[in-house]
Amino acid sequence: MSQEFLKASLSPEVIRLAAQLRYNVQSNPWSAAGHLAAAAGSMLLALATCYCLYNLFLHPLRDFPGPKLWAMTRIPYTRNYHSGRGVRRLRDLHARHGPFVRVAPDILSVCHPDAIHHLQGHRKGKPENAKDELAYKNFRHSIVGANREDHARVRRVMSHAFSAQAMVEQQPLIQGYVDLLLQRLRENCDGGRRALDVTQWYNWATFDIVGDLAFGEPFDGLARGQYHPWVATIFEALTSMTMITALLRFEFIGQLLPLFLIPRAFARKMQEHDQLSELKVDKRLSLPTERTDLVGKMVANSRKHGAEMSHAELVANAAVLIIAGSETTAALLCGATYLVGTHPAVLAKLAREVRTSFQSEDEIDLVSTQRLKYLHAVLEESLRFFPPAVGSMPRRIMPGGDQIVDRHVPGGTVIEVWQWVFNHNPEYIHKPDEFHPERWLGDDEFKNDMLSGVQPFSVGPRNCIGKNLAYAEMRLIMARLLWNFDIALAPGMEDWYDRNQSWAVWAKPALDVCFVPRAVTTQE
């Protein structure tokens, strides 16, 4: 392009400004740098403005309701995600905007009894709405984050370890740790005069159980009265993962933000978690394969069914087993203990059922507790009120879009279904912020509750593989606690529920409980 053409194409004013800029650069380079920085800043501001306006007026999700600022930029969503009080804010948003709320430029939160079934249920030949790759980046080798084909293969291998027969085989081991829990509570409760933090004791018990189930050896939490280093690392690693996931969603700079905004100590905890997971698995693999722990069964079953798992898959799935098989059970036990402790009539009725259903404590086991209907209702209502898996389990809508509830959702949209938000929505649950086990026993007052949406273990082909074991373990621990002790919350624990913060799991504060031993000789 000739110089004459350029001159002809540019106005005299533009030529004058360009000449002035050239003069400024030659005579005062520092001033020129300032002009360039200002120009770059103006350009970035213009791009950000265009980005926000596009999200607000042209984005495929523009017609979904929600706060305008949340639709324009993902900053409010990220702040809410990091706050530890996010589910409560989301409940308020759904109360204002309805079942669908646009919480970020490309993310919808859905609160409806059919949402989880449409999103995660069996598809009957239709493609799967896959798990969001960013949210499950750290679990891609495990049953939690694997793609559809790998998930089916891994689940086929692991399912044998969670069968009814396997549960019966594991009963002596589980009973042994419940015996140890009760023994340690008696040793430390000072006849009921000393309150004990059950947040710790439940965690120590469930981690010991799942550690032995998975690797053939416990974490010795109950024996030592302290957390194993790996267990202590898990909680911080989970918090770090959720924070990093939220930051990675930022376009262009998402890969850089965690480097500046996530403390290095958190990053180290994630590395330690990965290293300890691998060390624990390698130690187990060095032992005889015939052992009946879960890792041993995974290895044996993968070879038997021609679906051998890689070393990375063994490590990832062992880590998932430890988290899913311990923290979630411990959280539910904490929630149930708090809820019955703040509802004396429920506690009295539950204790009476346990103490009149058995002739002796020896009769209380994983199978016999299935007939305790009120205990089951208490656990179900505790799962509704305080669901242990508090995260949203995000899915990404398939290309071409999908029908979720009564709306067409564009392909590529991330959909979140928050169990706690649904469970506390008065549109679907009568008196959602009140604890009523009777709603699970056919009480007419709660006949219109849409309990099909209460799914703490998820639904469909990816529902929790350890659901039956979790129920059995929770029933057994609660029943034997109530057989052996009269329990009461310590003073100052009345607001325990409200002090809980949440990320992937609940960051549970101390829950101090008084255990008064009972002298039991015959059926009451």
- Binding positions for heme: 464
Q: How is residue 360 written in tokens?
A: 């002796």
Q: How is residue 15 written in tokens?
A: 């030529």
Which spans in 292-385 are helix H?
294-304, 311-324, 327-341, 344-356, 373-385
Identify whether the C-beta of residue 331 lies closer than 8 Å to the C-beta of residue 506.
Answer: yes
Could you list the beta-strand ranges (E) of 390-502: 395-396, 402-404, 407-409, 414-416, 485-489, 501-502
Q: How is residue 442 written in tokens?
A: 């056919």
Residue of 323, 332, 326, 369 lying closest to 456 (CA atoms)? 332
CA dist 247 → 75, 125, 393, 477 (Å): 9, 35, 17, 39
Residue 318 burial (CB count, 10 A): 20
Residue ranges of the binding site: 464
Residue of 167, 130, 243, 173 lying closest to 501 (CA atoms)? 243
Residue 512 DSSP one-character state? E
At which residue do the structure tokens 């594991």 appear? 170
Residue of 368, 490, 491, 384 lying closest to 436 (CA atoms)? 384
Q: How is residue 218 written in tokens?
A: 């416990």
Collapsed DSSP state (helix, strand, coil) of residue 504:
coil
Collapsed DSSP state (helix, strand, coil) of residue 288:
coil
346-371 b/e (C-beta count within 10 Å ≥ 16 → b):
bbeebbebbeebbeeeeebbbeebee
